[in-house]
Amino acid sequence: MAGTGTGGILNIGFTCYANAVIQAFRHCNTFETLFQEDNYNTKLIETSKYCILTKQIANLFQNLYKMNSSSSIKPMGFWFAFQQVTEGSGFEHLNERRPHDAHEFLMFLLDSIHESFAKKITMNITKIDLKTERQILHNKSLEAWKNNFEKSYSPFVPLFFGLFHVEIICSNCKNITNKFESFNTLKAAMSNDTNLTLIESILNDLNDEIIDEYACDKCSPIRHKATRKTKLWKLPPTLIVVLKRFTFDGRKIYTPLLPFESPLNISDLYSSLSPDKFKQNKYALRSTVDHHGGPMGGHYTSQSRNRLDDKWYNYDDQSVNQIDKPEIGSSTYILFLEKI
């Protein structure tokens, strides 16, 4: 019997956070396709210390897709490679057999895979006569993209990275400084007392910020207050959204995220000057990472849509069960969405 792509992953001691992230990640079409290519390893930079981990991830993905929901895998090769890669990285604590944050693990995994492919390339920006504000900003965004990735580019960059458009407005002279910042995850700020939609939560995190002593180019050396406004300029095909459920003082926000229709239109998050604002901006939910329990431990699971049969499954370590649809609520922590 052919595999249904629904294999489980054994928990080898407080590894549910990693199992949930891996299951959610591997069901993203862009990510899974990259590692299903027979020649993916020819793109690896063999001198990178991260190659050993990327190879284990690819092997794990490929094996899970050959399995059924009644079978599971013990990922010892992955954890051996993970331990090697984290040495001297500042993330050694992730090897300790205790509860860890799935978001932190996800960020390390993303960076590691990117670094295993990353190389210097040449990016050329076509010169045009810049007449309008929109053209000037678009050109500036291309320059920011080049500055961010020309020296370290991988197949991950166009799949998972986007750009913020940041405006900083001086309160004294009203001068506006425009800049662009790259990201590979969006944050969604949760409220303790109000149920928010996903769009509201993201907008909540992108709220205007006040800078108390801003060094304005025109007012220098005198510093004044300024307002920082952030909007989306460019989004990747695969969008990762992290709900800010955990606070700096060790508490957890249990307020449910309101269920949303999939696909979701996110045009309202864009800068009004972005060339992408009026394009097709609908994203479909592909996977979730869910956190159950309190902030000092708890348990992680994943809900993911299988590309082979287009059905939803709940992944709880080695236990895998088909579900009618994903449950969005107080346990929702990380969302993986794909542009349609």
Answer whether residue 306 is part of any domain. Answer: yes
Residue 100 is encoded by which pair of tokens? Answer: 């860890």
Contact 184, 239 (CB under 8 A): no
Number of domains in the chain: 1
* pLDDT tens by residue, 230-277: 999 999 999 999 999 999 888 999 999 999 888 999 998 999 999 999
Q: Is 165 helix (H, G, I), strand (E, B) or coil?
A: strand
Query: What is this structure's pTM?
Result: 0.94
CA–CA gap between residue 13 and residue 97 (Å, rounded): 6
Please identify which residue in the block is written with the tokens 């809900």: 303
CA–CA gap between residue 41 and residue 33 (Å, rounded): 13
* pLDDT tens by residue, 37-63: 666 777 889 899 999 999 999 999 989
Would you state the pLDDT for residue 39? 64
Answer whether residue 216 is part of any domain. Answer: no
Q: What whole-number percentage of the chain has pLDDT above 90?
A: 79
Answer whether residue 257 is part of any domain. Answer: yes
Answer whether residue 277 is part of any domain. Answer: yes
Would you state the pLDDT for residue 6? 96
Domain that holds residue 304: 8-126+185-193+237-339
In angstroms, how far is the first alpha carbon of the chain from the final one?
Answer: 32
Check whether 1 has a pLDDT greater than 60: no
CA–CA gap between residue 103 and residue 176 (Å, rounded): 34
CA–CA gap between residue 336 and residue 289 (Å, rounded): 8
Q: What is the CATH number of the domain that holds 258?
A: 3.90.70.10
Would you state the pLDDT for residue 112? 95
Answer whether residue 38 is part of any domain. Answer: yes
Paired residues of 9 in beta bridges: 73
